[in-house]
Structure formats: structure tokens, C-alpha cells
Structure 1
């Protein structure tokens, strides 16, 4: 097997592994909780950088849930709620958490009334266990919910807002704060967002994936194929080299954009690190950089 074909095969293997890991890395199921709790269902909520994880137990209609807010501010409160009567916070049965000025995490249940009041109160369903923690920049609420038949599939809403005088104040009524509503089905393991378009972070993830797929998955391999197979035809003349150079340089440029988008996603997600994905990305980016440098050196020497 000649060196050119070996290089092509190795690059293809790196590419396939990278794309597979990228797909897995974007799943909330890869998150490791500090208490080592495992959840069979999870959904990335499309607003406010939140996710919901749960285990549903049909034998007694209970659900163990974890609501996670990524990059949570220590001066903000967070809340997740079920609302069987409507979409939105008003009338919802909520779990609330925030970090006290002394460093402790306060967590409690509340029934949110039309005025937005969030005073501690029992819910219309049982919550035998509830706790919260602030770790690695994330605020997480853990709870066990005693559900009824009407609550196993219902509306959900999640929020964050500023603290006022050490207690939850009114949350903003613009942007993602009014779009953070949807539904959850504890039995099927699905959750949806009905409050608007894709979040900024979700758009960046999509852009990151598309740019890298086009760069490392299309342009760079096409450049390699051109160099391997077209140069043997005399009629191709020097055109094969220019096509090869165009594919490689444009592929690298697109790859740089994908790399930069990935770095931005990382900075927007404190406390979340996908080590394998990062290492593979660095390896592929380094190999692509060496390829482009070799092209520059070749052009300067001729």
C-alpha cells in the first residue's frame, strides 16, 4: 500500500471518529453528576442553557429529576415547574433554587400565582425529596416527584431571574425568558420546547457541526482524492494541483471557522468539558495545519 493511500485511509478514520464523538458530545446524557446519579432520559431545553434529566418509575408513578442550569449566576435564582393548566409560570408548580450570600444553596417548592410571587409552599403533588447544589458553574435541582395520571405528560416551564433583597425577584419578560416553555412526557422520555426558535447556543452547535463536516468531511478529502488520482492523467496538466490547492486551503479556512465556533461554545459552557472530542479535534486541526503549511512551503520553493 503506497504512502498516499495510507494517508488517505488514516485521515478518513480520524474524520469518522471525530464526527461520531461530536454527535455524542452534544448529548446531555454524557454529563456526569457529582453524586454519580444516572438518568435514563434527558433533554436539552432550547432556552436559557438548561437541561432536564429524569428516571420514571411506572410502578408508583414517581420521577427522579435533575434540572440543570449551565453557567448559573450566583446572583440569580433558577426554577423548573409543571403547569397542568396552561403554558407559562403563572399557576405553575415550581421547584426554586438560588445561592445564598453565605454560600449555601436554598431550594424549596412554590406555587407561582398570577402576581409572580414565589413564596415557599407545598405543591399539588408530593415532593418527598428535594435538594440542590452549585458546582462547576452549574446550578442543579434534584427532586423526586409523586405524579398523577394528568402530570405524567404535561406542560413544563423553566426560568431564571435576579435576586432582590436575598429573595427571588421578577424575571425578565423578554427574549429567552418568555420562550422557556414546552412539554414533558415522563413515560416516553421526551420533552419539547414550544416557546420560539432555536437558542443561540443550539445555533452555534449546528454551525460548528456543519462547518467541520464541510471542511474535514468534504473539502479536505476531495483535495486528497484529486492529488491521488487526477495527477496520473497527462491531460490534466497542472490543473490537478491548483484544484488540490483550492480544496485544501478553502477546507482549512472553513475548518478554522468551525474550530473558532467550537472554542466559543466551550467558553459559553463553563463546567462542561468533552475531553475525547477536544483531543480528537486538536489532533485533526493540527494535521490540517501541517498539510496547509506543507503546501505553502512547496509554493515558496517553486
Structure 2
């Protein structure tokens, strides 16, 4: 890189985009000179465009001879330049760009990464956004269908866990290939994965129904599951923002979340009405089963007969 020129773009702390040419005279920070370089820019002003976590640099070069195929070094840093002083890059890669090609370079590896990122999002939404919430709904609102609810809940959650593992594996591959710096998305993903593994272990270590620890296990299992679903949904949103997902992704996931919330509200209302009906029937049954403590009106007539008979028997 020493002796070359570079176009550098960034977003400052105020959210404004900047782009400037630098001459890389040496490897020291003082030898990287801003506003200098050997790239022959034309009269069109360079520009910076952003799309989520992606940043694009646009500039035009003027030349009388075609460049043909040229190597280009791409590098990025997570630190914003201070007073046009560049920091050391976090990662870099190189490509061969054919300037004589109208359609631009064909990079199968780049297309593969884009497809892998898309698959990461799809598998995550299906697993965490659909399958696992349905399994939780079955466990809460189908308890009266014992043991059907238990088998359904177990099968659905194990399928969801398989999708979770697929999401994590795709995420690891993306990180190894792209080195994307998304600490919040990655950290929450690891936390949710740990909660999921603990849920699977809890399934195999659950105590018997008559155990004194069963209520504590039920409390832990239900609330840790809810926590995992909450952070998973939050992580899906963070992932879409980091990837610069389009409106179709956001609308689709929002529609899915809305359907699940509406279903939960309807089922919760029906469950409440059913519990209220059972309580009213139970109270009515108790009122009907209590004997009337009042004496009959003809008690004196009934009681006179045995009294006279006893008196006559004594004569």
C-alpha cells in the first residue's frame, strides 16, 4: 500500500458523510497525507451513500487510456478519522476489477456471502419467529389435552432448536468470512443460544410431578423460555438493521409478529373466560349442596305424633 492513493469515506459523529483522497506515503499515521494522491478525479464530486450497516463510495476517474484489469485493495476500520488522521484498518481484502467490462466484476464469492446472509435471516425468522413461539403457545393453551400437548410441545421445540443451530452455524460462517463488527447482534445471539441449550437440558432433567422441586422447575422453564423468545425477537430486528434489510423483510416479520400477538391475546381471553365459567359453576355447586338449616313449618304436627305414642305406650 505504501506509495499508493486511497479514497476514504466515513460518517462523522454528527451523522454527516465524508469522503477524501489520501496519499499513503508510509506506514506511520503522519505519513498518510489527506487531500493528496495520484488518482485523477474528474469534475464530478465524490459522494458517500449508506444502506444500513453498508457504506458506498462513489467517485469518477478521468483517463485517456483504459485501465483494463487492476487490483484494488479494500479495507475498513471501526474508528472515525480524527482531524483527517486515519487509524489502522481492522480488516482488508483485495479484488481484481475489470474496468473494461461494462457489467463490472463477477465475484461468485460475494454472491455466495449475500445468499448466506439471506439464509441466516430466513432460518432465524422461521426458527425463532415462528416455530418456537408456536411451541410455547401449545404448552400454555393446550394443557387440557394431556398428554397430547406435551408431545406436541416437545416435537415442535426440538424442531425449532434444529433451526436455531442452523442459524448459529450460518452466523459463524458469515463472521469468519466477512468479519462483520456487530457486537450487539453477536452477543445477544450467544446469550439466546445458551438459554436454548439450558431449555433442552431442562427437558431431560425435569423432576417427577410429585417432586417438591417440580413447581420451581416449571417456573424456571416457563420464564427462561419467555426470556429467550424476547431476546431472540430483539436480535432478529437488530440483524435486519445491521444487514440493511429492505422494507419487504421488515413488513414480513412485522406481519408475523402481529399474527402471533393477536393469537396470544385471543387465546388468553378465551382461557380467562373458561376459568371464570369454571369458578362460577364451582361456586354454584357449593351453594346447592349446603343443606337448609331451617325446620319445616309442620314440625309441630309431625313431632306431636311420636310424643303421644310414647305417652300411650307408657300407660
Q: Normalising TM by the smaller chain, what interval?
A: 0.3 to 0.5
Higher strand share: 1
TM-score by length of 2: 0.40
Structure with larger RCO (C-alpha < 8 A, sep 6+):
1
Which of these two proteins has the greater Rg computed from alpha carbons? 2
What TM-score do you get using the length of structure 1 for normalisation? 0.42
